[in-house]
Amino acid sequence: MKGVFVTGTDTNVGKTTVSAALMQRYRMSHELCYWKPVQTGAPPDNDTETVRGLGGCTDGEMFDNGIRLPVPVSPHLAARLAGTEISIEQVMKYLPANTAGKSWIVEGAGGVLVPLNRKQMMIDLIDALTLPVVIVGRAGLGTINHTLLTVSALRARSITVAGVVLTGEGIDDNADSIAEFGNVKILGRMPHLAAVTEGQIRHWAQRELDRDGVLAKAMEGRWD
């Protein structure tokens, strides 16, 4: 499988918006497909439809099979309240038999240590998919600690961190400190957008996201 897994340092940090931006950034050079394996609060929450709109995506760029649970809480609790249980094996069965034809933008739920069940966490799903990870974090106060903890957790499992995207208003030094202390690439800083539209996301992604093309290798499935 080629592509990236988009995780966050917390909930509501901008994973879905960044996923849409990645679709806008790499569509011209790669055949892309977005996937949200686990969605809680659905409906009305529907990150797949949000990415479809903000990413300007076609039906062929969306893969809408996965775990969908109604209560907007952690996946393990949402599953329990629905009288079921999530397992990584169950999630992986949703994937088509051959995933090699496209580069996948896979969006997680919450952060890397969000529980899926009593024994497995989101980081275990990331490990099973063997994709390098894009971390999305807030640009403001507290982000250095939260982002470096996420980097450390992933590297402790020998999972590749492809880079970090910071969102919203923040302190300029935060990005530099994360890059230095985490030895990680800052792929972009998405400013606060008063009204998020497909055009705004496309404009930012094509000009500001991953300027150096760091993720091109991941999209091609040849990350070292």
The residues annotated as belonging to the active site are 36
Entry pTM = 0.96
**Cβ partners under 8 Å of residue 35, min gap 6:** 63, 65, 66, 95, 104, 105, 106, 107
Whole-number Å distance between alpha carbons of 50 and 43 = 12
Residue ranges of domains in the chain: 2-219
Q: Is 2-219 assigned to CATH 3.40.50.300?
A: yes
pLDDT band at 89; cut points 50, 70, 90? very high
Model pLDDT, residue 195: 80
Instruction: Tell me: pLDDT of 222 over 90.
Output: no
Q: Which percentage of the chain shows pLDDT scores above 70?
A: 100
pLDDT digits (tens, 9 = 90+) for 34-84: 999 999 999 999 999 999 999 999 999 999 999 999 999 999 999 999 999
Instruction: Tell me: pLDDT of 224 over 70.
Output: no
Model pLDDT, residue 96: 87
